[in-house]
Structure 1
Amino acid sequence: MKALILAAGRGSRLKEYTKDKPKSLLEINKTTLIERSLNNLKKVGFSEVVVVTGYLNTLLEDFITNKFSDFCTIVHNIDYTRGSGSSFICSTPHLEGEMVIIESDLLYDYRILERLIAQKEKNAMTLGCFDHGREEVKIIVEQGKISKAFWGDAETKADGDWVGFTKLSSATTKELRKNLENTDPDQGKEINYEDFLFALMTEHPFYPVNVNDLPWLEVDNEQDYLSAAKVAEKIDENL
């Protein structure tokens, strides 16, 4: 199985911490986010990872080449300031077969990946609960399937929040690639990557994979970063 990591963004909410490095190169207990994620993917048996770079791309690309050259394909998004949809468009030639899409700012237990790929249903999204009061993608589950995914604030009623992992079947990946190829490139670069995934749900069933009992954290701002060491300690206990 192949994975796609979207690692092009600036991480501006992390202020000074990302002024000289991409967010995925932030160290949590002496190990960068990207290295943790790539090691997790290796551990559970992924064969290839496509990493989309953008902000300060040379630093991230050099890091990956030095440590994971036999495992990773690097794609540079020169339009990374236009949003995550632009990274999806850059990755189009590499979208094939069963895939797992991962956001690069996730600090997580490798068992989340195990649980996701073990889901017998072909399309799945991880379900958890953020406790930070910010806007997140909310998930509604009906009869065991995800009936709706949409942006909402902390007061929005839902069955949970989407933690940024998505598994796609070969057929769904094929449709995603077709949708991206048929999207006007200039217009598509202004669309969040999440919206491309939401569009797939109108034709393909998606199933929730609850991961809230496992340690994970989205490192999105300074408060998250300062909390990350404790989460990493729990994760490292299980390695």
Structure 2
Amino acid sequence: MKAIILAAGQGKRLGQYTQGKPKCLLPLGQETILSREVRLLQEAGIAEEDIYVVGGYRYDLLQEHVPNLIVNTLYDKKENSYSLGLALESMDDDILILDADLCFEVDLLQELLLSPDPNILMSKVSDDLEESTGIVTDAAGYVTAIGKQYMNTGLVYISIFKIARETIPAFREALLDERHGATWYTAAITNICKEFPFVNLVTAKKWHEIDFVEDYLETIKLFGLD
């Protein structure tokens, strides 16, 4: 099992808190968002040498914080499908993929890794649809579509998923198709999920995404990281 952390974005909406550094380097207690994620991935059983980070904006500041750095020089022109496509070009393993602006505990990762299904998207039941990415499922709980255009499902994608080695060639091909525009990797998942089923795993574990200043302050309070 390998892990990919997508950390190419700038985090403009956090303004005075980022001050010329990537959002993932914001402090959470004695760690940064990124170093905390790297530590929790290791606690969940993923070896340090198997953790890869895709950087873009001020990627030079990430080098001393990550085991393996992949650089996306087009971070300001393309969305995360391009970053993920870069990371997957030379990988052939089961992979856990997550964004670099998340806060959670190790039990959330363990819940995902211990689930026997090969391809899994994690979600939370939520009525908060602002800025959210929704998941559409069938009666059996399999994903039929995912994207920001699906905002009325009550299932909010939490930007963490697991994909099996056998699915990666098709996913990589779909990303290569998508990444020529400013697109999100969720479009590629929608394209392949009929042939390669993805299960929706609803979690009740503690989790928070950091997009805005209020998100950052709420995260610090929720996790006791001040």
- Structures share a fold, TM > 0.5? yes
Q: What displacement does 1:224 show?
A: 0.2
- Please state how far the C-alpha of 1:203 moved relative to its aligned partner: 1.5
How far the C-alpha of 1:128 sits from its partner, in A, is 0.6
Q: Hey, what's the Cα distance between the residues in 2 that align with 1:57 and 1:37?
A: 17
Decide whether the 8 Å contact of 1:145 with 1:208 is kept in 2: yes
Retained in 2: the 8 A contact 1:95–1:177? no
Instruction: Check 1:18–1:35 CA distance in 2 against 1; reply closer, same or farther (3 A cut).
Output: same
**Aligned residues of 1:10 and 1:55 also touching (Cα < 8 A):** yes
- Secondary structure of 1:81's match? coil
2:55 to 53, 56, 67: 53
Unaligned runs of 5+ residues in structure 2 are: none
The alpha-carbon distance between structure 1 residues 40 and 116, as it changes in their structure 2 partners (threshold 3 A), is same
Conserved 8 A contact 2:144-2:194? no
Cross-structure match for 1:100:
96
Q: 1:178 to 1:24 in 2, by over 3 A?
A: same
Structure 1 residue identity aligned to 2:223: A
Tell me the CA shift for residue 122 of structure 1: 0.6
Q: Distance in 2 between matches of 1:230 and 1:2?
A: 31
Structure 2 CA distance for aligned equivalents of residues 227 and 35 of structure 1: 19
Aligned 1:109-148 pairs, distance under 5 A: 109-130=105-126, 132-141=128-137, 142-148=139-145
Q: CA deviation at 1:22?
A: 0.5
Counterpart residue number, 1:202: 194
The Cα of 1:147 is off from its aligned counterpart by 2.6
Change in CA separation of 1:51 and 1:207 when aligned onto 2, cut-off 3 Å = same
Cα root mean square deviation, aligned: 2.1
Identity within the alignment, %: 25
**When the two structures are superposed, what TM-score results if normalisation uses the length of structure 1?**
0.85
**Structure 1 residues 231, 96: closer, same or farther in 2, change over 3 A?**
farther
The AA in structure 2 aligned to 1:58 is D
- The separation in 2 between residues aligned to 1:21 and 1:172, in whole angstroms, is 35
1:150 alignment partner in structure 2: 147
Q: Offset at 1:18? A: 1.8
CA gap of 1:197–1:78, structure 2 versus 1, over 3 A, is same
Structure 1 runs of 4+ off > 4 angstroms?
Answer: 130-133
Higher mean C-alpha deviation, range 26-35 or range 127-136: 127-136
Deviations 1:15-55 (A, max 9, x none): 12223211110001231111110111100111311110011
1:150 Cα deviation (Å)? 2.7
Unpaired runs of 5+ residues, structure 1, are 65-71, 235-239
Code of the residue aligned with 1:218 in structure 2: it is: E
- 2:142, 2:200 within 8 Å by CA — same for their partners in 1? yes
Map of 2:215 onto structure 1: 224
Q: How does 1:21-32 map to 2 (within 5 A)?
A: 21-32=21-32
Tell me if structure 2 keeps the 8 A contact 1:115–1:209: no
1:175-224, CA deviations, whole angstroms, 9 ceiling, x for partnerless residues? Answer: 2223345x38xx6252222222222213211111121x211100011110
Partner SS, residue 113 of structure 1: helix
Alpha-carbon offset, residue 229 of structure 1? 1.1
Partner of 2:224: 233
